[in-house]
């Protein structure tokens, strides 16, 4: 839960702005800054997760029992274990609310991917070139193209198209394909379908969807 909440909080930063909690009246507003929208569900989930971590040492230390029935250890569990369930339930509920109203910003995602001028896709270009010249040589060629791009202010596509060694083995279409971030989606659709099917199965067993 903390990982999901942390990611959403970071993604909602002004400099990133790829995802944010859905706005609602009375939710997340700032008393000092009218333009601000605080990630209140993410904040609550992270706080609950950290509180849960705080009771784990009590539970672990209670595992060391003296003789048949130790004094103090298992009594400490009476407070620690209910607390752990309470904090966990709170984090889950916060994340449920957060995900249910999550706002996604595809345009900002594309803009962030473009910040490096295609350099983020250098590995993909290397792998496209490797079958023709071998991995070490492909790495050297693409690294040189990246250096040229940085030095000249070009993007990686322009640098690759201007590089005779790249053009000797890859067509412009192949270069474009290698530099397309969408190529990294891989089996994403399969995983999404699997997660949705599992969710629907659970909801159906509860008399929901």
Assess whether pLDDT exceeds 80 at residue 31.
no
Q: In the structure encoding, which two tokens stand for residue 145, read together?
A: 């193209």
Average pLDDT of the chain, as a whole number: 91
Distances (CA, A) of 87 to 1, 27, 56, 77, 202: 11, 21, 12, 15, 23
Q: In the structure encoding, which two tokens stand for residue 11, read together?
A: 């993604």
State the pLDDT confidence band at 25, using cuts at 50, 70 and 90.
Answer: low
Q: Which of 107, 86, 96 is nearest to 8 (CA)?
A: 96
For the chain, residues classed under CATH 1.20.200.10 are: 2-111
- Among residues 48, 61, 69, 96, which one is catalytic? 69
Produce one character per residue of 23-50: b if its CB has 16 or more CB atoms within 10 Å, e if not. eeeeebeeeeeeeebebbbbbbbbbbbe
pLDDT computed for residue 208 by the predictor: 59
Assess whether pLDDT exceeds 90 at residue 29.
no
pLDDT computed for residue 32 by the predictor: 67
Q: Provide the β-strand partners of residue 19.
A: 104
Q: Which of 179, 183, 196, 182 is nearest to 129 (CA)?
A: 179
pLDDT (average), residues 1-20: 95
Contact 27, 100 (CB under 8 A): no
Report pLDDT digits (tens) over 89-114.
999 999 999 999 999 999 999 999 99
pLDDT (average), residues 170-179: 97
Please indicate whether residue 69 is annotated as part of the active site.
yes
User: Is the Cα torsion angle 64, 68, 73, 76 positive or negative in sign?
Assistant: positive
pLDDT computed for residue 23 by the predictor: 75
For the chain, residues classed under CATH 1.10.40.30 are: 117-184
- Among residues 30, 61, 152, 198, which one is catalytic? 30
Q: Which of 41, 48, 2, 46 is nearest to 22 (CA)?
A: 41
DSSP 3-state of 103: strand
Pick 64 or 108 by higher pLDDT.
108
117-184 maps to which CATH number?
1.10.40.30
pLDDT (average), residues 124-129: 98
Report pLDDT digits (tens) over 139-148.
999 999 999 9
The pTM of the full predicted model, rounded to 2 decimals, is 0.76
**Residues in Cβ contact with 209 at an 8 Å cutoff, skipping those fewer than 6 apart:** 199, 200, 203
Please indicate whether residue 152 is annotated as part of the active site.
no
Determine the topology of domain 2-111 in CATH.
Answer: Fumarase C; Chain A, domain 2 (1.20.200)
């Amino acid at each position: 839960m903390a990982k999901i909440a942390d990611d959403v909080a970071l993604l909602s930063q002004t400099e990133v702005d790829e995802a944010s909690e859905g706005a609602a009246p009375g939710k997340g507003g700032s008393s000092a800054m009218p333009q601000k929208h605080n990630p209140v569900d993410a904040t609550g989930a992270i706080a609950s997760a950290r509180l849960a971590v705080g009771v784990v040492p009590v539970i672990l230390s209670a595992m060391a029992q003296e003789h048949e029935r130790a004094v103090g250890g298992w009594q400490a569990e009476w407070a620690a274990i209910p607390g752990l369930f309470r904090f966990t339930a709170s984090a889950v509920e916060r994340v449920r609310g957060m995900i249910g109203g999550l706002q996604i910003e595809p345009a900002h995602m594309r803009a962030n991917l473009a910040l490096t001028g295609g350099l983020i896709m250098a590995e993909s270009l290397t792998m496209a070139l490797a079958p023709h010249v071998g991995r070490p040589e492909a790495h050297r060629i693409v690294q040189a193209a990246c250096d040229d791009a940085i030095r000249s202010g070009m993007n990686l596509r322009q640098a690759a198209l201007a590089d005779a060694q790249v053009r000797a083995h890859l067509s412009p279409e192949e270069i474009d394909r290698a530099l397309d971030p969408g190529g990294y989606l891989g089996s994403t659709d399969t995983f999404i379908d699997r997660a949705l099917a599992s969710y629907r199965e659970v909801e159906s067993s509860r008399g929901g969807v």
